Structure formats: structure tokens, C-alpha cells
Amino acid sequence: MVYKSINPYTGKINKTYEQINDSELENIIFSSSRAFRKWKNEPIEKRQDLLIKLADLLEIEKDFHAATITSEMGKPINQSIVEIEKSALACRYYAERADEFLKPVKQSSYAGTSIIRYDPQGIVFAIMPWNFPYWQVIRCMAPALAAGNSVLLKHASNVPQCAENIENAVINAGFPSGIFRNLLIDYDQVTTVIKSEYVRSVSLTGSNTAGIRIASLAGLNIKKLVLELGGNDAFVVFNDADLEKAAEALIYGRFQNTGQSCIASKRLFIHEQVYPEFLNLVTGRIKALSAGDPISHDTFIGPLVNESAVRKVERQVKETVEMGAEIILGGKAGIPRKGFFEPTVLINVNYDSPLAREEVFGPVLPVFSFKDYDELVCRVNQSRFGLGCSVFTSDNKLMEKLSVDIDTGTVVFNSFTKSDPALPFGGVKESGYGRELSEYGIMEFVNIKTVTVY
Ligand code: NAP
């Protein structure tokens, strides 16, 4: 298999890479396991210092890394820069807090006193997506390395340059050889890695199709697994909301990364009393979004990742219109040029249509109205996914009730849903299981070992 890095805006090939063969893979797994045995006994301060060096390096080389993201998957450059800054922040977060999270704890028990230790597991295998090609890798890798594991990465096949750059940054920061390796491998070789006795944990961020396959393999081989899958998040506007603020947040919530985010606000629910006013406000802002060359600092909407992504969004919109929805803005592929999908708003959307039920990875916003609390909660929770939800209201009592009733991994009030190194991130239902980031994220990659002396 040849890996092709293709610029989604120009259609030109940036670079190609060859897949590694099975014996090369075997050697890499073995050297990763050897690197782990040394690394796990290094003082944690050393692991933390290296993470700081990696953060410094990412910041120094920010423009280079951001340009690679943009040329490889089409993210508008300002947003690529933010992605690198946030990735550096995640390294700093674990560099500053890992020793505290991993400190052994004394625990009194029926036996007397025991010690709970947080030991590394071995090799962590990270299988990652293209949509945040640095952030997704680093939010898994930083806690895994801080905890004393080694990491093997199988990145999405359309972002091999990002994968190579991350590996180089890790080496240049001074991490020991073999501790983090990028693997150019196919799906059969993914199976080989998961089966390996040295690989103790798997972390997949990706689609539900990949989730089913990787969860089955991990299950068959009894490997610990974190699954970060798709989402169909709601964005809710109550009648007491600050409408200007909500409209501004929704632009980022739905349209940043050209709508290709797991926690994008993919369904808009507006209280009937403010429906016309809010719809007007938000469509006005969407019309003003500039689409064009993602390398320009003036661009907010870039191309979708590839032509098949455009065709998928087109199909989802078409079928939703066939089920009765009305397009009030946009709706077409190929504008302003091939590879793009226009920012699109639809009303009168059927709850059984693709835009209501499926994950839509593009700049498309289906709008629903609601009358009361019970109807809203029922509609928001009527999804196979359960990643996040954003709600705009000024009523504190309502916030308390919704925090309990909304069935997702994250609920955000008066902003759009975003991840933060210090906050646990993950989903329920078909959005997956396990948590990334925060103290909970590092705990996914440790052996919680109980030591008792009788
Ligand atoms: P994807 O097609 O599922 O790919 C994700 C990774 O899994 C890639 O490295 C891919 O490799 C690999 N993969 C896919 N099928 C595989 C199989 N059968 N065997 C072995 N490896 C396999 O997803 P994507 O298009 O890259 O990313 C978009 C999806 O990720 C969306 O659904 C989005 O919601 C989700 N996502 C979730 C989160 C979260 O935190 N919950 C965050 C970001 C993205 P290839 O590229 O070689 O196919």
C-alpha cells in the first residue's frame, strides 16, 4: 500500500510513503517493548521534563506544523495554529500534573494497610483519525508516555506527514529511541499489533465502523480499550438565552474545522418563542463566513477532507430534503470550487432523516424547534450517540436539571462544546467508552496495582 498525502484544496500530491513489511513491524514492536522496559524505570521527573521540551518545540515550530495540517487535510490555517497550541498545552498539563496523579496512595483495608500503585502497562497502541491530526494523537500520547508506557501510532492514512512530523518532534525533544513510533501499516497489520503480547492497551478515535472492528479485535485478544467515536451533538437555545452570544458560539460549534469535528453541534434546537429571531441571527452570521484557500488567514470554511466526504454530505442533505426538509441557506457541493460544500441550513427536518440520526461531517445545520422541557430532553437524547451537548439559558435551576437529564459525556452551558486538557472527555452509547484528558485520561494507561503486606 502507498500512503498518499494529498492537498484537498489543490488536489496535488504532497508526498507519498511506502507501507512497512511484516518483519519491519515485528522489529518495531520488539524495540518499542525494549524501550518501555527502560522508560518505565526512569524517574517521573525525566518523563515530565521531556514533555515540556516537546511542548516548547511544538510552539517554536508552530507555523511549520500548522501548515502541514492545512496542506494535508484542508483545515483553515488559523484553526491549525490553535490545534498546535492546544497540543502543546496538553503536553504541559501532563508534564505539570503526572507526578501528582500517579503518586502511590495508602489505603486502609480489612488487611491493615495497602498501597495502591499506578504502574505503566507496556505498549499503548493509538489508532487515530485525520480531523485533528495532532491534537488527537497528543492527547492520547502525552498521558500514555507520562505514565511510563511506550506508544505505537497508526494514524489515518491521509495524514502521513502529520504523523511523521509528530514522530520527529518526539525524537527532537529528546525522548529515547523507540518510545514513540509511527507505523505505516494496513488493516491486517493493525490486527498483528493488537494481537502482540507486548501491546497492552488500545486507544481508537474514529468512526463507528472502525470502532466495531477494533473493539472486536481488542475483545478477542483481551486488550484494554478506549473508544472515542462519532457524535451527533445538540445545541439548544432557550427563550431566556443571550441570543447574540449563542449565535456566535454556534458558528464555532458547528462550522469550525468545516464541520468535521466529533463534538460539532450537529443538531440545533431553538425554543419556539425565539425561533424566528435566533434563526435570523444565526443565518446572517453563517452567510458572512468566508470560504476559500485554507492557507489564507481570512478563510473560515475550507474544503472537506476529500471528494468522497463531499459526496457523503451531499447524500445526507438530499435524502433529508426528500423526507420533507427545506433548505434555507446553501445546500450545494462544489461552491466556491470542487472539494467544498456550502454552509447549509435546513428547517422542517424529519426526526428520522439522515441529518437528524447520522453523524454529518460537514458544514450543515439541521434546525428543530421545541415547546417545553420534556420534549427537548426527549429529542436531544433521541440519538444513538452521546458525546456532548451545548445549552444556552440563564436559568441556573434549568442548568442543574439538564446536567442530570442529558445523556452525554459532556454538557456545556452558554458556550460551544470543546475539550480541555484538564477536563475528562468521552462519550456514552455509540460514542464510545473510556475517557481521555484530565486525571481520568492518564488512568486509562496504568495498571492500578494493589500491594498488601500481611
Ligand atoms: P475512521 O475512518 O474510522 O479512521 C480512524 C482510524 O482508524 C484511522 O487511523 C483508520 O485508518 C483506522 N481504521 C479505520 N477502519 C479500520 C479497520 N477496519 N481496521 C483497522 N484500522 C481502521 O475515522 P476518520 O474518518 O479518520 O475520523 C472521523 C471519525 O472520527 C468521525 O466519526 C469522528 O466523530 C470521530 N472522532 C471522534 C472523536 C472523539 O473524541 N470521540 C474525535 C475525533 C474524531 P485508515 O485511515 O487507514 O482507514
Looking at every residue in the chain, the average pLDDT score rounds to 98
Q: Which overall architecture, per CATH, does domain 2-229+429-453 show?
A: 3-Layer(aba) Sandwich (3.40)
Ligand 1 pocket test target in 184, 207, 431 with most atoms within 8 Å of CB: 207
98 pLDDT higher than 90:
yes
- 329-378, pLDDT tens digit by residue? 999 999 999 999 999 999 999 999 999 999 999 999 999 999 999 999 99
**Across residues 242-252, what is the average pLDDT?**
98
Q: How many CB atoms lie within 10 A of CB 63?
A: 12
Could you tell me which residues are beta bridge partners of residue 268? Answer: 235, 367
Give the chain's count of helices (H) and strands (E).
15, 20
pLDDT tens digits along 174-189: 999 999 999 999 999 9
pLDDT value of residue 1: 87
SS3 252: helix
Residues of the chain with pLDDT > 70: what percent? 100
Closest ligand 1 atom to 129 CA: 26
Question: Is 231 a pocket residue for ligand 1 (Cβ < 6 Å)?
Answer: yes
2-229+429-453 and 234-420 agree in CATH topology: no
Which residues carry out catalysis? 228, 262
Which residue's C-alpha comes closest to atom 30 of ligand 1? Answer: 206
Beta carbon of 359 within 6 Å of any ligand 1 atom? yes
Q: Is the pLDDT of residue 15 over 90?
A: yes
Tell me the mean pLDDT in the region 36-51: 97
Q: Indicate the pLDDT class of residue 454, thresholds 50, 70 and 90.
A: confident
Q: Measured in angstroms, how far is the CA atom of residue 211 from the centroid of ligand 1? A: 8
CA angle 395, 356, 248 (to 5 degrees): 45
- Torsion of Cα atoms, 158 then 65 then 127 then 12, to 10°: 0
Cα separation of 27 and 40, whole Å? Answer: 20
Domain boundaries, the chain: 2-229+429-453, 234-420
CATH code, 234-420:
3.40.309.10
Beta bridge partners, 117, equal 449
Please identify which residue in the block is written with the cell numbers 516548547: 56
Quick check: helix, strand or coil at residue 378? helix
Question: Which of the four pLDDT bands, split at 50, 70 and 90, describes residue 136?
Answer: very high
Is the shortest distance between the CB of 128 and ligand 1 below 6 Å?
A: yes
**Grid coordinates standing for 181?**
513510533
Q: What is the DSSP string of 163-231?
A: HHHHHHHHHHHTPPTTSEEE----HHHHHHHHH-TTEEEEEEES-HHHHHHHHHHHHHTT-EEEEE---
